[in-house]
Amino acid sequence: DDRQPIGPLPRPEAAEIGSSEPGAREDRHRRRRGRRGGRKRHEGAPGAAPAAPEPAESSAEAGVRPAPTHAPEVERPARPREPEPAEREGPSLSPDDLAGQGRRLTEELLKAMGFDATVTATVDGNHVEVTAEVAKDEDLLTGRKGEVRQALQHLLNRMLNRGESSRYHLQLEINDFWKRREEELRELARGLAEEAVAKGDEVVTEYLNAQERRIVHVTLREDARVKTYALGTGMIKRVAIAPVDFEGGPRDESESSDRG
C-alpha cells in the first residue's frame, strides 16, 4: 500500500513567520509599525480623532511670576478711637445731682456698716461736703486720729467718680470730727513754729495724711519766720517746720510737693 499517514497540516501563519524571504520580512515589519504607530500615521486624516492639545507653557518657563496661592487678606474694620479723659468721665453733674449722689452714697455705705445716720450735703463747684450725724459709736467711724474717717472718705470719692478720675471731691464730716481735728492741727502748727524759731532748728510733726499735712502748711504759709516741707515717702508723711534761714530743708523735690 503506497498511502502514507497524513499528519496535521501546518498553519499558514507559522509558515509566514518562519519565512526568511525579504518580502515576508518587510510585510511583517509593516504590520508591526501599523499596530505601534498608527496614531501618528493617521493624524490629520479625514475622520480621525483630533489630537490632544500640547501642554501650555508654564508660568515659570514664560518668565511670569505666579499669582499668590494664599487667600486674599480680609480688610479689618478700624479700631474705635479711644475716648478722651473728659469723654470717659461723662457729662458733668449739676449741683443738685452732685449733692444727691454724695448724700445717697454716704447713706448706703453707712447703712451697710450698721449705722443709722442723718446725712446732708452742700456743693461748691466740684466739691461736695457731706455731713453724717450718728447718735452713738462715733469713734468707730472716725478712728483715734481720724484714720477711719479718712478711709471712708477715700472710698466714697472712688464711688462718686466711679474709680476713673478725680473730677469731684467729697469731704466727709462725722459729728464735727474734722472740724475739731482741723483746729487741733492749727494749734499744733503754731506751737511747733514757735519751738523751731526758739531752737533755731528743725522740728517735725507726727505722721499725717495729705489732708492733715495741708492744714499745717496753710496755717504757717503767712509766717515769714519759718518754712515747712514734708519728710518721707508714700501717703503718710511728717511735716517739718524750720527757721527760714535753716540750711537743711527738703531732702528732695518730692518731699515738698504737698505744700499748698
The 10s digit of each residue's pLDDT in 213-258 is 999 999 999 999 999 999 998 889 999 999 999 987 765 434 444 6
Contact (Cβ atoms closer than 8 angstroms) between residue 241 and residue 202: yes
Q: Is 173 exposed, middle or buried (0-12, 13-18, 19+ CB in 10 A)?
A: middle
> Model confidence at 14, in pLDDT bands (50, 70, 90)?
very low
> Model confidence at 164, in pLDDT bands (50, 70, 90)?
confident
Query: Residue 64 and residue 234: Cα distance in Å, rounded?
Result: 69
When pLDDT is averaged across residues 190-204 and rounded to a whole number, the result is: 97
> Model confidence at 166, in pLDDT bands (50, 70, 90)?
confident
Please, where are the H alpha helices in 161-246? 177-199, 210-219
3-state DSSP: the chain helix, strand, coil percent, rounded to 5? Answer: 40, 15, 45
SS3 155: helix
> Model confidence at 1, in pLDDT bands (50, 70, 90)?
low
Residue 37 identity (one-letter amino acid): G
β-pairing, 127-133 vs 118-124, is antiparallel
> Model confidence at 91, in pLDDT bands (50, 70, 90)?
confident
SS3 184: helix
pTM above 0.75, yes or no: no
- Neighbouring residues of 211: CB distance < 8 A, sequence distance ≥ 6: 150
Statement: residue 134 has pLDDT above 80: yes
Contact (Cβ atoms closer than 8 angstroms) between residue 101 and residue 160: yes
* pLDDT for res 74: 55
Residue 218 corresponds to which cell in the numbers above? 496753710
Sign of CA dihedral 38, 39, 40, 45: positive
SS3 140: helix
What does DSSP assign to residue 247? S
Residue that has been written with the C-alpha cell 445731682 in this structure: 97
Residue 1 identity (one-letter amino acid): D
> Model confidence at 31, in pLDDT bands (50, 70, 90)?
low
Residue 129 identity (one-letter amino acid): E
Please, where are the H alpha helices in 53-146? 85-89, 95-112, 138-142
